[in-house]
Amino acid sequence: MQQMPSQKVALVTGSGKRRVGNEIAAALAARGYSIALHYRRSAEEAQQTVARLKAEGVEAHAFQADVAQEADVTRLFDQLLECFGRLDVLVTAAAVWEPTPFEQVTAADVRRQFEINTLGTFLCCQRAGKIMVQQPAGGVIITTGDWATARPYPEYAAYFLSKGAIPTMTRVLAVELARRNTAVRANCILPGPVMLPENLSQPEVQGAVAGTLLKRAGHPRNIAQAVVFLVENDYVTGVCLPVDGGRTIAGSI
């Protein structure tokens, strides 16, 4: 039987662009992981990140896939295994977040958000889990939900429907995978206002910050720090961790 490579590997979906997934990849690289970056369309930015990581002595490669397409996900993981030979951490940061007035939400809107945010997450987690349960060292899966599925704000009905499934999915993964290999864990992070979209108006930005207990925006590094904690604490599984400055329990919308 072929010996498994010794270098641990982390795959972060949605990590091509300089957003939260990219910060997570950098944090795991700093902890000694080889990095598999996933992107859908941002090939140039993903390759720039690969070049930066390699310049720092990190083994890194970028892989293209549409996570809503099962064939793409299969190809992504096949290429990853061919390249690295193992998978120790999966972080699912690929997502879409698109506003639509409630009256204008169509079946196509709901379907699109579910296919990327929900189905895409599940397909990646299922394939990663199947790999990890075959490894003596197991592995860790970290999904990305959203704090506001507990207190939804207006204009994002389709998005919240898709993200609301992630905590349940994470608990399902924790149960199913631990039955097959007790060294496989699954947890979820529920981000708050850590990297607000550039197209938000100033009042929207101020409202998001004012709604936190800490009265300030977070930073992608706050999510990366939570990922590192969930990766390294081997007695935590099936947990959904808000990283939101107290937004979940603070005030009204």
Catalytic amino acids?
159
Distance CA 135, CA 122 (A): 20
Structural contact between residues 132 and 87, judged by C-beta atoms closer than 8 angstroms: yes
Structural contact between residues 208 and 217, judged by C-beta atoms closer than 8 angstroms: yes
Question: Identity (one letter) of the amino acid at 64?
Answer: Q
Question: Identity (one letter) of the amino acid at 68?
Answer: A
Q: How far apart are the first and last CA of the chain?
A: 57
The partner residues of 38 in beta bridges, in order of sequence, read 63
Q: List Cβ neighbours of 123 (8 Å cut-off, separation of 6 or more).
A: 67, 70, 73
Q: List Cβ neighbours of 19 (8 Å cut-off, separation of 6 or more).
A: 93, 195, 220
